[in-house]
Amino acid sequence: MFLLPNPLLRERRGVAADVIGDVHGCAGELKALLEALGWRRDEGGWTPPPGRVAAFVGDLINRGPGSLEVLALVSGLVESGHAVAALGNHDALLLRWLLHPEHGRAEVIRDTAEALVQADTRGEGPTLGEARRWLEASPLAARFVCGGEALVVVHAAWHPALEEAPRDVAALACLYGPTARLAGSPHRHRVEWRHALPAACPRIVHGHTAYDGPVSTMGPATCVDTACVFGGRLTALRWPEGEVVQVPARRAWSPYPNLPAAPPLRDPAILPPDQALSWPWNPAGPEERFGAP
């Protein structure tokens, strides 16, 4: 199995966070959202309001029209100390190709990969090496501690037990969340995991499950993937205030037939006994996501 080199957690203390949902190459919407959050744009890039940073739940790229622009913007924020970006499954697929191009690339990253090669050839950046180094350094999750409160920002799913889990298990949980192949279905289905969190769990903000509806919270976990690239909205949750800030998509950049009105997570009660959800979740068939190098 392909093992990601990324750190599991990166921690920031003493700062508030603007947690931003799946961008998927929607560069114009991201800039509009930063402005709505009170960020200031100048010649040196973007400056946050005092005491705040941005926290991205991952899936910065693919499907939308400005993946390289988003990569350049977010990597600049991270390098200046103004942001932390958790790795998403789309970002991980691009990283896998950058680390092992001889093994081919997933079709979903084709447009981003080709644009990156062209930019590298023209010397316009980000170069292939810059993108690889930045994605390699991106954590699978980010933890914020401010005023005695804690927050974990992750792409797909989080549970405190993942800090002690095997590395591949933790990575797949963070990037894809629990999934299962149900009887009679050729596909793996995403399974609701938020009900299984312990009482002492920190606040969690995640993405990955696109839907066109109000911000969804179950227990301590909130989903902020409100389907911007599919014509919905790009969402930010201001933490610890709990305020939701959104901007509408400029258009539906990618088709999504029957976009759901709530996060498309299946009830774990439908799982067969041998696939019962427990943590740390032990995934079946991880090679389906990353493949063996």
**Cα angle at 170 between 100 and 199, to 5 degrees?**
160
Dihedral pair phi/psi, residue 246, rounded to 5°: -135, 150
At residue 186, the pLDDT reads 74
127: three-class secondary structure by DSSP: coil
Does 143 map to a domain?
yes
Does 2 map to a domain?
no
Task: Measure Cα distances from 81 to 52, 68, 130, 196 in Å.
Answer: 10, 20, 17, 34
Dihedral pair phi/psi, residue 275, rounded to 5°: -120, 20
Does 209 map to a domain?
yes
Structural domain tally of the chain?
1
Does 211 map to a domain?
yes
Does 279 map to a domain?
no
Domain span at residue 102 reads: 11-155+198-261
**What are the residue ranges in the chain where pLDDT is below 50?**
1, 285-293
Does 111 map to a domain?
yes
At residue 98, the pLDDT reads 95
Does 113 map to a domain?
yes
How many whole angstroms from its chain centre is CA 180?
A: 20
Which helix (H) or strand (E) is 117 found in, with range?
helix 110-122
Q: Bridge partners of 142?
A: 10, 153
Report the CATH number that the domain containing residue 120 is assigned in CATH: 3.60.21.10
